[in-house]
Structure 1
Amino acid sequence: MNFACLARQAFDAEAFGLDFFRVTRLDYARLGPELARLRAMPRVMADARIAASDREADLFLQRNGFRKVCIQIRYGRDVPPDVATDCSPGDTAENRLPPGAVSRHVDNLVYDRFNLDAAVQKAGRDRFQTAWIANSLASPVIRKVYDGESFVSFKLEGREAVVDIVSVLVHRRGVGTRLMGRVLAAAARAGCARLIVTTEAENEPACRMYEKNGFMPEAHFSRFHYASTGADAPETRFA
């Protein structure tokens, strides 16, 4: 099925066990008919991310059956070149977590957008998060830093280090701050000038931790989800 404004997401589709699409272009004249075709499909899920200030896109998506599930904040901070000398290396491409640790991290990610969507059942979101965490930990191009079983994974994208996952299992013990220090050091060693992380606004503990560590909000996004099992089943819950 060819779309101009929607792109099928193979990773998400496999995790949820249905067709999953993402809105990639806000061309309303084309997107409207494409969403009508989407609604006619037997089992489908879709998502969209827009600037939180884009009222026109917000209303358009809601009129076409999307639900706003959360606001996300992109934080950023400069990477001081000399921070590389402040922490031991510690970053690796290897997965150092013991068997069974992934399930503990799945249970820990309570503020991600799928957990904030009441229409997504636990089985579906657990499959998605399990695959997401496992892939991030296994990828040879994604760096990881650890503190016990807590970890941060991040990618090097030119002059930026972009955080993929932050999961701190031990709270209020300075673990998050130590991990971010190690990420900053790794970014400095790689020659990065900026460190970027995105989290849900509902995740107040994470927001406080980032701001404590020198991050500043750079952008706000609204996240939307759409779900359908076909025209005869207007109310959907994903397995």
Structure 2
Amino acid sequence: MSLADLVVWWPRSEPVLARATTGDCEDLAAIHAASFHRGWGAEDLATMLRDPAVVAHVARRRTTAPAGGFILSRIAADEAEILTVATAPRLRGRGYGGRLVAAHLPDLMRAGVRRLFLEVEAENAPALKLYERAGFVPIGRRKGYYRTATGTADAVTMRRDLPAI
């Protein structure tokens, strides 16, 4: 399946949000490769999804449709880190990233997570806006953290405290 196959079907209706499975890995790898300079492969994603400390959600048109976006976090004690949020290129700017974050947080809270962290490229204004709207606050900066096609880019480290449930 090509990335083009993943993006032409998406309607303007609400997506179905569900837990990701290893059966989603090909779709997730295509989305990740289109979203980041160093995308993760399907086997990398499958390894992560088999880890009991990993929580991942997908957005799709209907239950049996290919994934159009996903979020993946790893839990350690009462903390977690969002490792990635990615949406198929033609779906960006439609609010699916925010819906994925909103669907993801309750599962993390049920798992006992109280502090959630992430790193985002400092120049990625849409992602920074997404995370700020979701209640994350900047707590630091890592110089030259990301390798890009043209060199390196800084990362902004962000945190959100989660309530106990």
TM-score class normalised by the smaller sequence: 0.5 to 0.7
Q: TM-score, normalised by structure 2?
A: 0.62
- 2:72 maps to 1:145: no
Of Structure 1 and Structure 2, the greater strand share is in 2
1:168 is matched with: 87
The Cα offsets for residues 48-99 of structure 1, whole Å up to 9 and x where unpaired, read as xxxxxxxxxxxxxxxxxxxxxxxxxxxxxxxxxxxxxxxxx9445x324164
TM-score, L = length of structure 1: 0.44
Q: Which residue of 1 aligns with 2:78?
A: 159
Does the 8 A contact of 1:136 with 1:164 survive in 2? no
Does the 8 Å CA contact 2:73/2:83 hold for their aligned counterparts? yes
Stretches of structure 1 that go unaligned for 5 or more consecutive residues are 1-88, 110-114, 116-124, 227-239
Which residue of the other structure, out of 114, 139, 143, is the alignment partner of 1:218? 139
Q: Which has the higher contact order (CA 8 A, sep 6+)?
A: 1
Shift of 1:195: 1.5
User: Structure 1 vs Structure 2: percent identity of aligned residues?
Assistant: 26
Please list, as runs of the form range in 1=range in 2, the aligned pairs for 1:1-239 lying within 5 A after superposition.
Answer: 90-91=18-19, 94-97=21-24, 99-109=26-36, 115=37, 125=38, 129-130=40-41, 132-148=44-60, 149=67, 150-169=69-88, 170-223=91-144
Secondary structure of the equivalent of 1:97? helix
**What are the ranges of 5 or more consecutive residues in structure 2 without an aligned counterpart?**
1-16, 61-66, 148-165
User: Cα distance 1:90–1:103, how it changes in 2: closer, same or farther (>3 A)?
Assistant: closer
Residues in 2 aligned to 1:137 and 1:144: alpha-carbon distance in whole angstroms: 7
User: Larger C-alpha radius of gyration, 1 or 2?
Assistant: 1
Q: CA RMSD in A?
A: 2.7
The 1:167–1:138 alpha-carbon spacing in structure 2 relative to 1, beyond 3 Å, is farther
Residue 100 of structure 1 and its aligned partner are, at CA, apart by: 5.0
Residues in 1 aligned to 2:96 and 2:136: alpha-carbon distance in whole angstroms: 17
